[in-house]
Structure 1
Amino acid sequence: MLINRFLKTTMTALALVTAVPVLAGAQTLTMGVRAGPDSIDPHWSTLGSQAETLRHVFDTLVGVDNNLQLQPAIATSWKPTGEDSWEFKIREGVKFHNGEPLTAEDVKYSIERIPKVTGPMSTTIYTKRVKSVEVVDPYTLRVVTNSTAPSLPNDFIRLFIVPKSTGEAKNDEFNSGAKAIGTGPYKFVSWTPKGDFVAERNEDYWGEKPHWQRIVRREIPDDAARVAALRSGGVDLINYVPASDYQSIKGDGSLQTFISDSLYILNVQPVQGATLPQKVKVDGKVIDANPFADLKVRTALDKAIDRKTLVRVVLEGLGKPANQLMPEGFFGYSAELPEPQYDLKGAKALLAEAGYPNGFEFDFTCTNNRVPGDSVVCEALAQMWSRAGLKVNANALNGTVFFPASQRGDYSVQMSAWGTITGEASYTYGSMVHTADKELGLGAFNRTGYSNKQFDTLFEEGQRTLDDEKRRKIFEETSKIAMEDRALIPTVILQTVWAAKADTVDFQPRIDQETLAYLIKPAK
Structure 2
Amino acid sequence: MKTSILKPAAFIALVVSGLGFSSSSVLSADLKVALAAEPTSMDPHYQNLTINNSFSTQVYNALVLQDVNQNLIPGLALSWKPVDENTWEFNLRPGVKFHNGATFGAEDVVATMQRAANVPNSPSSFATFIKGKTFEVVDNLTLHVSTEKPYPFTPNDMSRISIIDSAFVDATTEDFNTGKVAFGTGPFTLTKWLPGDLLEIKRNDTYWGASSEWDNIVIRPIKDGTTRTAALISGDVDFIERVPPSDLPTVEGREGLSVFKSVSNRLLYVTLHMTDNPIKPFVTDLNDNPIASPFQDIRVRQAVSLAINRQAIADRVMDGLSAPAGQFSPKGYIGYSKNLAADNYDPERAKELMAQAGYGNGFKLTMHGPAGRYTNDTRILEAIAQMLSRIGIETSVETMPASVFFKRFARGGVDKTPEFTAAMSGYANGSGEPSHPLRIFIHTKQKDRGYGPGNRNGYSNSEVDTLIEDGRASMDVASGEKAFIKATEIAMQEYALVPIHHEIATWAARDGIAYEHGALDSTFLHYIRTQK
- Shorter-chain TM-score: what band? over 0.9
Question: Could you say what secondary structure the match of 2:397 adopts?
Answer: strand
Counterpart position of 1:512 = 520
Residue 394 of structure 2 is aligned with which of 373, 391, 406? 391
Shift of residue 297 of structure 1?
0.5
Shift of residue 39 of structure 1?
1.6
Alignment of 1:433 onto 2:442: yes
Question: Could you say what secondary structure the match of 2:47 adopts?
Answer: coil
Counterpart position of 2:480 = 471
Q: CA separation of 1:22/1:201 partners in 2, compared to 1, >3 Å: closer, same or farther?
A: farther
Cα distance in 2, alignment partners of residues 237 and 499 from structure 1: 6
Q: CA separation of 1:376/1:353 partners in 2, compared to 1, >3 Å: closer, same or farther?
A: same
Q: CA separation of 1:52/1:203 partners in 2, compared to 1, >3 Å: closer, same or farther?
A: same
Q: CA separation of 1:281/1:119 partners in 2, compared to 1, >3 Å: closer, same or farther?
A: closer
Shift of residue 131 of structure 1?
3.0
Cα distance in 2, alignment partners of residues 451 and 124 from structure 1: 21
Question: Could you say what secondary structure the match of 1:472 adopts?
Answer: helix
Q: Deviations over 1:403-460 (max 9, x none)?
A: 1211122111111001111222211110111100122210111011011111111111
Q: Deviations over 1:12-52 (max 9, x none)?
A: 9966948xx96876311111111122221111111211122
Cα distance in 2, alignment partners of residues 284 and 25 from structure 1: 60
Alignment of 1:317 onto 2:320: yes
Amino acid at match of 2:466: T
Farther-moved stretch of structure 1 (124-133 vs 382-391): 124-133
Q: CA separation of 1:389/1:403 partners in 2, compared to 1, >3 Å: closer, same or farther?
A: same
Counterpart position of 1:188 = 190
After superposition, where does 1:232-271 map in structure 2 within 5 Å?
232-271=234-273
Q: Deviations over 1:89-143 (max 9, x none)?
A: 1111111112221111111111111123124433324534443211001111111
Over the aligned positions, Cα root-mean-square deviation in angstroms equals 2.4
Shift of residue 362 of structure 1?
1.2
After superposition, where does 1:65-464 map in structure 2 within 5 Å?
65-275=67-277, 276-278=279-281, 280-286=283-289, 288-408=291-411, 409-464=418-473
Counterpart position of 2:489 = 480
Cα distance in 1, alignment partners of residues 524 and 288 from structure 2: 51
Cα distance in 2, alignment partners of residues 403 and 218 from structure 1: 20
Q: Deviations over 1:487-513 (max 9, x none)?
A: 101011111211112x22021223222
Question: Could you say what secondary structure the match of 2:133 adopts?
Answer: strand
Question: Could you say what secondary structure the match of 2:491 adopts?
Answer: helix
Question: Could you say what secondary structure the match of 2:435 adopts?
Answer: helix
Asked if the contact 1:506–1:520 (Cα under 8 Å) also holds between the matched residues in 2, the reply is yes
Residue 57 of structure 1 is aligned with which of 56, 59, 80? 59
Amino acid at match of 1:452: N
Cα distance in 2, alignment partners of residues 469 and 11 from structure 1: 53
Asked if the contact 1:23–1:29 (Cα under 8 Å) also holds between the matched residues in 2, the reply is no
Amino acid at match of 2:40: D
Counterpart position of 1:522 = 530
Tell me the TM-score normalized by structure 2: 0.92
Q: CA separation of 1:94/1:130 partners in 2, compared to 1, >3 Å: closer, same or farther?
A: farther
Q: CA separation of 1:57/1:105 partners in 2, compared to 1, >3 Å: closer, same or farther?
A: same
Amino acid at match of 2:512: T
Counterpart position of 1:27 = 29
Asked if the contact 2:135–2:144 (Cα under 8 Å) also holds between the matched residues in 1, the reply is yes
Farther-moved stretch of structure 1 (450-459 vs 267-276): 267-276
Counterpart position of 1:495 = 504
Shift of residue 255 of structure 1?
1.8
Q: CA separation of 1:159/1:24 partners in 2, compared to 1, >3 Å: closer, same or farther?
A: farther
Cα distance in 1, alignment partners of residues 479 and 450 from structure 2: 23
Gaps of 5+ in 1: none
Aligned length: 518
Farther-moved stretch of structure 1 (192-201 vs 24-33): 24-33
Amino acid at match of 2:530: P
Shift of residue 293 of structure 1?
0.6
Q: CA separation of 1:280/1:204 partners in 2, compared to 1, >3 Å: closer, same or farther?
A: closer
Q: CA separation of 1:10/1:142 partners in 2, compared to 1, >3 Å: closer, same or farther?
A: farther
Asked if the contact 2:59–2:187 (Cα under 8 Å) also holds between the matched residues in 1, the reply is yes
Shift of residue 176 of structure 1?
2.3
Farther-moved stretch of structure 1 (23-32 vs 401-410): 23-32
Question: Could you say what secondary structure the match of 1:341 adopts?
Answer: coil
Q: CA separation of 1:197/1:12 partners in 2, compared to 1, >3 Å: closer, same or farther?
A: farther
Q: Deviations over 1:467-501 (max 9, x none)?
A: 01101111110010000100101011111211112
Asked if the contact 2:131–2:448 (Cα under 8 Å) also holds between the matched residues in 1, the reply is no
Shift of residue 358 of structure 1?
2.0
Q: CA separation of 1:462/1:13 partners in 2, compared to 1, >3 Å: closer, same or farther?
A: farther
Question: Could you say what secondary structure the match of 2:52 adopts?
Answer: helix
Cα distance in 1, alignment partners of residues 14 and 195 from structure 2: 22
Cα distance in 2, alignment partners of residues 401 and 138 from structure 1: 41
Cα distance in 2, alignment partners of residues 130 and 70 from structure 1: 22
Asked if the contact 2:366–2:422 (Cα under 8 Å) also holds between the matched residues in 1, the reply is yes
Asked if the contact 2:129–2:160 (Cα under 8 Å) also holds between the matched residues in 1, the reply is no
Question: Could you say what secondary structure the match of 1:367 adopts?
Answer: strand
Asked if the contact 2:284–2:291 (Cα under 8 Å) also holds between the matched residues in 1, the reply is no
Shift of residue 228 of structure 1?
1.4
Gaps of 5+ in 2: 412-417
Cα distance in 2, alignment partners of residues 442 and 205 from structure 1: 35
Asked if the contact 1:212–1:518 (Cα under 8 Å) also holds between the matched residues in 2, the reply is no
Counterpart position of 2:415 = none
Shift of residue 231 of structure 1?
1.0
Asked if the contact 1:188–1:198 (Cα under 8 Å) also holds between the matched residues in 2, the reply is yes
Asked if the contact 2:242–2:507 (Cα under 8 Å) also holds between the matched residues in 1, the reply is yes
Cα distance in 1, alignment partners of residues 293 and 249 from structure 2: 43
